[in-house]
Structure 1
């Protein structure tokens, strides 16, 4: 569809000096693409007049008129069409936006869409919001990170910073004063940056991150003590006594022995100044395994999960005992039966487990099932009303058999009550109770809270949180993945702030 048009104005102002002129120098035809009508491309053939500038001192002897709201200099698309394409680029980025535009009747390349997005003006920001949310995000996970700043009251992202160190945040706060409350996670860099850039602002540690940090330490504690509920293990689940003193006790599981040996070897090589790569080559271990052993403060941090770890055969042992009592002693057949029920292990594992049965007149009773570490952790962290009767029964049984886990449940309940009811004034009493108990992993959690005491107290007292910040981080991740992770910070910033 072609539309022929001309301007009805008597004259025009010079673009250089602003002088008004009605003297026409010449005319020419200009073609401008406009938004489609009924799926049909639209071309506006515009008769443009070139005027003579009456200002003798003006550098521009002649100038061409523009149709306000329709055309701009050097543009072959109309102003409304450019605005529409810019919004398409904001929403869908390059390739997807180009495909949608083609369906609407506009031919445009992906690079043009991205160029239009980059050219969009950003809202001017001179002051920080009263309640500012701060969090990090990955530009390239493990290599490059950034910082997102969110107005917590409105829930909108206002800026993206390169890096997640303290100085960029501190500089931004100095350039944009006005923040009275800063919501953040437990990162020390953000705590330092907020303290340096806005020393009078109240820092609030997010309750979600507090609960998540507590959950990590609870899981480690459960892993440390859940193993003592298995038959045939020492009472404390972890024993460092000499071999001569525990000859009457069952032998350590092979995994525990191997964990002790690897930890001692890694720590010995680290003490000699060897690099992680050299340790990997010497011990023939994966780099992540060496990192885990090198970062562990004590061997107990590793032994907890090694002892509490369940194997693939654990859920199917009662069935194997039942079938053996019924006279089915063929290991291959039993493997096929439990494989149909979901077993993913090997035939040899079943044979090794059933081998002692062949020397007995009757098979031993099936060992009591011990819940997995994450199951018990979930029961401790969930609200009691969300547990069914069977979960209540199992948790009560575990607490009755393990004094450590019983006290752990009380600590978790006290912290949850304090967090939900926002009783930050009870934090010091809770910390004192935890520090007086024999819970090494909770001691580590308490040490971290002591370092960030004021922010944690504010987080457990004030109504502010980083919920809206986390929502913006999720939206940012969706935008980044939509562009297959190839969005540079400037383009990602435009799409996050303006979309």
Structure 2
């Protein structure tokens, strides 16, 4: 260890002994330095423990730079080697575990992490998130009686294949996420009603709400509502009052490009990209099959045979809540009359669907609590 930031070098002299007994297999014996220095090392135990603590707290590069200011000159590779020498603690027999995936490379390769619910600490890491890996881990730990998992069917298949009586539960994070995804879909389909309720205390304007039936788990309306209609309606109202696109964007909380685009339109065109697949025709069937435990890949193949023409990726994105998330034409030379007073309107901003869902999400989690505290 350094002293006051200065490097300290200790010179040790060790004796070497020779054995002249012909029956002894060892011919030389070296005097050991004691408990303050590890064998075959050039640093004291205290110094190596300090390096390891820095390596655990930050990255190897950051640890190397921080240690250099204290008089300990080590490379990032040395910090990693010290971390690899640390033996993992034994966790014994566990009965309640939590399993989830973690990313080697986000979006490409994933592993699995296992948490001991008794103390909330990680106990093991698996190289992938396949059924076989988790099944093998459960075979080596026969006393596991409860597993908290995410929405992945791979973990559920691994638990079922063991043949043991293991209770499966969904952790709080994924329960809240399921509710949040569903609530987001509900708010999106009734966004016009929210805007109408938000403006009850404001000045009465010519406003026609775009209504939508509240969806149920097994039935939906024949046509989904378009959230753009609410925004387009209010943009056109403000444009008729004399507001510029920039002022409209600030007042409604939308982007300037969107306000400008809507100002140039006389009517809002249909959004074919979201309506062409007609998901609403298959919502009841997909949700019913997903609840029964069938994988989305198998459901996608089945509805393709029923006439569905969408590809798998947008299908997964649409049903992710079930699995493992302006005034008319104006010329360019037009200039406002400087004598004309600025238009006034006291309406509130358009609160995005994600913001509304976030408020609901925080209310469900409770004040001052995070999901990580319960995992």
TM range (shorter): 0.5 to 0.7
More helix by share: 1
- Is the 1:152–1:468 Cα contact (8 Å) retained in structure 2? no
Shift of 1:72: 3.6
- 2:95 and 2:81 map into 1 onto residues whose CA distance is 34
| 1:72-117 alpha-carbon deviations (Å, 9 max, x no partner) | 4332222222222222222223111111110110111110110111
Report the TM-score when normalising by structure 2: 0.62
Shift of 1:194: 2.3
List runs of 5+ in structure 1 lacking aligned partners: 1-34, 239-297, 324-332, 358-365, 387-415, 421-465, 471-499
CA 1:51–1:344 in 2, change beyond 3 Å: closer, same or farther? same
Task: Tell me the secondary structure at the aligned position of residue 38 of structure 1.
Answer: coil
CA 1:55–1:154 in 2, change beyond 3 Å: closer, same or farther? farther
1:90 paired residue among 40, 56, 64 = 56
- 1:205 and 1:37 map into 2 onto residues whose CA distance is 52
Partner of 1:46: 12
- Is the 1:132–1:151 Cα contact (8 Å) retained in structure 2? yes
Task: Tell me the secondary structure at the aligned position of residue 42 of structure 1.
Answer: coil
Task: Tell me the secondary structure at the aligned position of residue 100 of structure 1.
Answer: helix
- Is the 2:114–2:123 Cα contact (8 Å) retained in structure 1? yes
List runs of 5+ in structure 2 lacking aligned partners: 197-206, 266-325, 331-345
2:3 paired residue among 20, 37, 43 = 37
Partner of 1:355: 328
Partner of 1:111: 77
Task: Tell me the secondary structure at the aligned position of residue 204 of structure 1.
Answer: strand
What pairs up with 1:259-274 in 2 under 5 angstroms?
none
Task: Tell me the secondary structure at the aligned position of residue 355 of structure 1.
Answer: coil
- Is the 1:223–1:304 Cα contact (8 Å) retained in structure 2? no
Task: Tell me the secondary structure at the aligned position of residue 36 of structure 1.
Answer: coil
- Is the 1:174–1:198 Cα contact (8 Å) retained in structure 2? no
Shift of 1:151: 0.9
- Is the 2:192–2:209 Cα contact (8 Å) retained in structure 1? no
What pairs up with 1:177-256 in 2 under 5 angstroms?
177-197=142-162, 199-224=164-189, 226=191, 231=208
| 1:130-161 alpha-carbon deviations (Å, 9 max, x no partner) | 22111111211221011111111211111111
CA 1:310–1:367 in 2, change beyond 3 Å: closer, same or farther? farther
What pairs up with 1:479-490 in 2 under 5 angstroms?
none
Residue 59 of structure 2 is aligned to residue 139 of structure 1: no
More strand by share: 1
2:127 paired residue among 162, 167, 174 = 162
Count of matched residue positions in the alignment of Structure 1 and Structure 2: 280
| 1:203-224 alpha-carbon deviations (Å, 9 max, x no partner) | 2122442232133234334434
What pairs up with 1:428-443 in 2 under 5 angstroms?
none
| 1:253-283 alpha-carbon deviations (Å, 9 max, x no partner) | xxxxxxxxxxxxxxxxxxxxxxxxxxxxxxx
- 1:469 and 1:54 map into 2 onto residues whose CA distance is 65
- Is the 2:235–2:262 Cα contact (8 Å) retained in structure 1? no
1:309 paired residue among 224, 228, 240 = 228
Shift of 1:314: 5.4
- Is the 1:134–1:469 Cα contact (8 Å) retained in structure 2? no
- Is the 1:126–1:176 Cα contact (8 Å) retained in structure 2? no
Answer 1 or 2: higher relative contact order, Cα 8 Å, separation at least 6: 1
- Is the 2:192–2:230 Cα contact (8 Å) retained in structure 1? no
Q: Flag the structure with larger Rg.
A: 1
Shift of 1:316: 4.5
Residue 256 of structure 2 is aligned to residue 344 of structure 1: yes
Partner of 1:245: none
